[in-house]
Amino acid sequence: MTIEIGYPITLASASGLETSLRLGTLPPGRYAERVVKGPYEGLQAGTAAFIAWGEEAGVRWAKEGASGDCWTARTEHYEVGPDSTADPSQWRTRLSFLLAS
């Protein structure tokens, strides 16, 4: 499994970054999104429900690789988390998965 971790930054703040870091952007296209509310322990079930919804709705996710098992763009944005509130029931994670064109 390959995972890339990213942080949103402005180009102005990118000057002087360590050379081991690389700048990039998410691929353009249409994304399906779902917000999972609650503690991070619920993300696995929330993600599985999102994928199941897509399969039932006939959604084609953008995937790569010889066997088509590598997601082109699948992100989790932690909109509200422990640094915003100590109450896990208030946490919000936005899942955004790129759709196949």
Per-10-residue mean pLDDT of the chain, 101 residues long, equals 74 60 84 97 97 97 89 95 96 97 88
Which alpha helices (DSSP H) does the chain contain, by range?
Answer: 11-14, 43-57
Per-residue pLDDT tens digits for 28-52:
999 999 999 999 999 999 999 999 9
pTM: 0.82
Amino acid of residue 18: E
